[in-house]
A = this chain, B = another copy of it.
Amino acid sequence: MPPSFADEARDDELAALLTADLERLLPLESTSLLDAAARHALLPAGKLLRPLLLVRSALAAGGSAERVLPAAAGLECAHVGSLIHDDLIDQDTVRRGRRAVHDHYGPAVAIVTGNSLFFTWFEALAECAARGVPHARIVAAARIQARAGRLVCEGAARELAQAADLETTVEDYMEMVRLKTAALTSAACWIGATLAGARRARTEAFAAFGEALGMAFQISDDLLPYAPASEGVGKPANSDLRNRRPTLPVLIARDRATSAQREDLRHAFTAQPSDENAEAIRTVITATGADFAAAEAAERHTTLALHHLSQMTDTIHRRHLEALAIGRSAGR
């Protein structure tokens, strides 16, 4: 099969193809309230990082972009479905600069819309059969999808259990991030390589790359509320503070703090969230250098991701994956 347009496309061209596929999955003409709510959350699309990882991984493994496009668009649906539920759980009212689905359509519709998008994920994957992907690969990808979905749920449950718990260990936080975020970026790359027909030993490098990348992203993301200018990000910067999330900067600050600082931190972290308490937490994080240490941890995961990448055949697609890893590691 000669390389198609999509196989040589730039990221923005692939993003346009993915957006067209999302439009197809959630047609504007639909009279369903769920489709309207899903469109509200999905379109205009975000950076489409996960579907781009999937398509680029398929290409890097020698596959075709067109054949895996539905699986990639479906992955974005699943990701947005989980964001809809996260925003409801965290009571965040803004996402990507728009009102969160639960805020606009009510909590019940938010629950059901998220669910519907999870099912769309699998329906879209199955469509790859009509594009020539062998059934055995689709079953393998379905298993990866389903397992990743479960792991993301497990991560969400652990995040809930860690809320307001300043005794959380760094290891428990890292494991939670591995489940909540890295499981899906790992699945993105793993599914792409699997649908392209890569053998197991090769798909493992893709899965490991995606996992390290996801860790780096989430750790960077968790730094945003403590960055000097945290205004203007799509997700309200104070969400983690309001939900008392013991993220890496908070935990490193706790470990490095003097006893007076630790007392300040504990008080500000467990008290009623307020601007004043947020500022007190930021002060201890900055004073202990926990923000730099957390940024370094993100950087280490990016380096690990690039190491996994270096084990793959050097192609233009591998270089695109590299760019996705480096370009994003400083934040989403």
Contacts and interface: CB of A to CB of B under 8 A. Distances in A.
A138 interface: yes
A88 B111 CA distance: 10
Interface string A231-273: 0000000000000000000000000000000000000000000
Contacts of A278: none
Contacts of A318: none
B119 A153 contact: yes
Given A112-B153, A115-B118, A139 B146 contact: no
Interface centre among A88, A123, A139 (most CB of B within 10 A): A139
A96 to B, nearest CB: 21
A302 B140 CA distance: 39
A1 interface: no
Interface centre among A109, A114, A135, A154 (most CB of B within 10 A): A135
A119 B150 contact: yes
Given A111-B88, A135-B135, A149-B115, A142 B126 contact: yes
A314 B109 CA distance: 44
B150 A123 contact: yes
Chain A's interface: helix, strand, loop or mixed, by majority?
Answer: helix
Interface centre among A114, A157, A158 (most CB of B within 10 A): A157
B112 A114 contact: no
Nearest to A37: B157
Contacts of A138: 135, 139, 142
A122 interface: yes
Nearest to A158: B33
Interface residues of A, number: 45
Nearest to A161: B33
A123 B111 contact: no
Contacts of A139: 126, 129, 135, 138-139, 142
Nearest to A140: B126
B149 A126 contact: no
Contacts of A135: 134-136, 138-139
A73 B119 CA distance: 18
Nearest to A133: B139
A104 interface: no
Contacts of A112: 85, 89, 153, 156-157, 160
A283 interface: no
Interface of A: 32-34, 82, 85, 88-89, 106-109, 111-116, 118-123, 125-126, 129, 134-136, 138-139, 142-143, 145-147, 149-150, 153-154, 156-158, 160-161
